[in-house]
Amino acid sequence: MAKPRVLISDKMDENAARIFAARGCDVDVITGDTPDQLKARIGDYDGLAIRSSTKVTADILAAAERLKVIGRAGIGVDNVDIPAASAKGVVVMNTPFGNSITTAEHAIAMLFALARQIPEANARTQAGEWPKNGFMGVEVTGKTLGLIGAGNIGSIVAARAIGLRMKVIAYDPFLTPERAIEIGVEKVALDDLLARADFITLHTPLTDETRNILSAENLARTKPGVRIVNCARGGLIDEDALAALLDNGHVAGAALDVFQTEPATASPLFGKPNFICTPHLGASTTEAQVNVALQVAEQMADYLVAGGVTNALNMPSLSAEEAPKLRPYMKLAENLGSLVGQLAHGALTEISIEREGAAAELSGKPITGAVLAGLMRRYSDTVNMVNAPFLAKERGLDVREVRHEREGVYHTLLRVTVATEQGPRSVAGTLFGAGAPRLVEIFGVGIEAELAGHMLYIVNEDAPGFIGRIGSLLGDNGINIGTFHLGRRDTGGEAILLLSVDQPLPEAVVGQACALEGVRTVKLLSF
């Protein structure tokens, strides 16, 4: 089996390449490519490790025929077209914790620099002045710090600020009351934060919901004399509005490490009173750069070699330790999704994935992703766990996950139900022996079968002679039967036959099967 090939296209710690090699990957370090050069090169690689310089556009992804994973050594992935990567089936990972302390410390440093006007005082002193009476700072002790975003970095800033005897309030829709108590902050609405905070720091990604969160309107709601720090993402603040409020004194100071346009060679903020800035240095410490390089190499190698998924932005996480345990379930889930997708007619509006018994104790997201990967193959032959949820959402499919704590007839069970124009259609499966996936129910009929290769699905009247007729038909046409599975609702009622064959059936043979006495439905299946 060929080794996975990885391209490191941005400068990062040399130990990253060593980790890839030690984990069984072939790795090339080629930095400084133009977009056209990268486009010409990327088709040879399974993995792409980047920092902020490489721009992974839809055009680049279109040429990435083998690419399975993109790893960003750092937090921000503004330079990766994630929707295009998802549609292509490429996992996008980042390293959200490798530079958290570094970025949080930079925010605190900027806060102090604002409070005591250190940069301007330094510049004038070094220019030969002694402006001892020209700078009147403020203490941070006892002041209220407002966090916009209380995730990993925000919580570290909160801990440092609490240590400085500041009161910390936080606006974050995802912050639970329990977590707020745990990190020692008061959870508030955004309007409340704007009205109360003496200092505001931002620690949120740039999304459609957070873009321009400090708009002109919101900036006008801030407490007079507020000081604002942004070491998160450019685009969170209306820079023109902030410049105007610095001019009129409503905002007493602002410190930015990030800008809406970078490199920021010009800005309406440059030259404004008590404005300080740094050129996106939040993650720029020796320790952080080593950490994120090592982490991205470990994460990407885990995925390429062992199937582990860590810190992925477009698919569920799955550790290298969990992967072997979940693999048979994911195979079963994919087969069930594929089966119901091949048999259900018309447009699908809803899918329910139920886990029962031992399956209920496992992570549900990877199983759901596998079911959708199987189901979505009715629409695309390039679908996988990454782009399947994307395709399902694109088609308006309502996806529901149900976990049952009870254990039924089977020790472990997965059930997949889709809503069709004819009503709900459900299939179920379990694991036999050493994790062997088995179908155990189809559309309410109990039937045990292995789903593999080329199969024939037949619904017929339960009457004597049918098995002989279908066997003779296939034998007369040189079709060898591999396995043969029967199930029925009631004696003399509707029966289901699932059989595997060594090769796909010609259309003429399918037509002959449809014409057999008692046959209601014939469907070719492939797994």
Q: Which residues contact 232 (CB under 8 A, 6 or more apart)?
A: 149, 153, 202, 203, 204, 205, 206, 258, 282
Which of 256, 192, 196 is closest to 225 using CA atoms? 196
Residue 141 and residue 241 in one domain: yes
Three-state SS at 511: helix
Return d(Cα 383, Cα 373) in angstroms, integer: 6
Mean local confidence (pLDDT), 241-245: 97
Residue 221 and residue 348 in one domain: no
Our CA angle for 101, 103, 104, nearest 5°, is: 65
Return d(Cα 373, Cα 380) in angstroms, integer: 10
Residue 51 and residue 121 in one domain: no
212 belongs to a structural domain: yes
Q: Is 280 a catalytic residue?
A: yes
Range in 229-243, 259-273, 309-323, 470-484 the model is least confident about: 309-323
Return d(Cα 206, Cα 203) in angstroms, integer: 10
Supply the pLDDT for residue 363: 81
> Per the residue annotation, which of 23, 233, 355, 438 is the catalytic one?
233
First to last CA, the chain: 23
3-state SS of 443-507 is CCEEEEECCCCEEEEEEEECCCCHHHHHHHHHHHCCCCEEEEEEEECCCCCEEEEEEEECCCCCH
446 belongs to a structural domain: no
239 or 392: whose pLDDT is higher?
239
pLDDT tens string 420-430: 888 899 999 99
Supply the pLDDT for residue 470: 92
DSSP-assigned letter for residue 395:
T
* CATH at residue 501: 3.30.70.260
Residue 89 and residue 111 in one domain: no
Supply the pLDDT for residue 176: 87
pLDDT band of 327, cuts 50, 70, 90: confident
Residue 129 and residue 234 in one domain: yes
440 belongs to a structural domain: no
> Per the residue annotation, which of 129, 262, 321, 517 is the catalytic one?
262
Supply the pLDDT for residue 380: 67
Mean local confidence (pLDDT), 433-449: 89
Which of 381, 406, 433 lies at the terminal end of a domain, its last residue?
433
pLDDT tens string 191-216: 999 999 999 999 998 888 899 999 99
450 or 318: whose pLDDT is higher?
450
Residue 273 and residue 302 in one domain: no
pLDDT tens string 80-120: 998 899 888 899 999 878 888 999 999 999 999 999 999 99
Which alpha helices (H) appear in 302-349, and where do they start and end? Answer: 322-343
User: Which residue type occupies 312?
Assistant: A
Number of domains forming the structure of the chain: 4
438 belongs to a structural domain: no
Radius of gyration from C-alpha coordinates of the chain: 30
- Residue 359 predicted with pLDDT over 80: yes
Q: Which residues contact 442 (CB under 8 A, 6 or more apart)?
A: 339, 343, 427, 487, 496, 498
Three-state SS at 17: helix
Supply the pLDDT for residue 390: 75
Residue 111 and residue 205 in one domain: yes
Supply the pLDDT for residue 433: 74
385 belongs to a structural domain: yes
pLDDT band of 406, cuts 50, 70, 90: confident
Whole-angstrom CA distances from 334 to 57, 327, 373, 418, 471 are: 30, 10, 6, 14, 29
Structure-block tokens of residue 235: 């685009």
Residue 271 and residue 291 in one domain: no
- Residue 315 predicted with pLDDT over 80: no
147 or 425: whose pLDDT is higher?
147
User: Which residue type occupies 288?
Assistant: A
Range in 4-8, 305-309, 351-355 the model is least confident about: 305-309
pLDDT tens string 368-399: 988 998 998 887 666 777 778 877 887 788 99
> Per the residue annotation, which of 280, 355, 377, 415 is the catalytic one?
280
Supply the pLDDT for residue 301: 94
Q: Is 233 a catalytic residue?
A: yes
Mean local confidence (pLDDT), 435-463: 91
Burial label, 420 (beta-carbon count in 10 A; 0-12, 13-18, 19+):
middle
Residue 144 and residue 186 in one domain: yes
What is the residue-averaged pLDDT of the chain? Answer: 91
Q: Is 461 a catalytic residue?
A: no
Supply the pLDDT for residue 490: 78
Residue 78 and residue 106 in one domain: no
* CATH at residue 252: 3.40.50.720
Residue 171 and residue 87 in one domain: no
Give the structural domain span for 350: 321-433
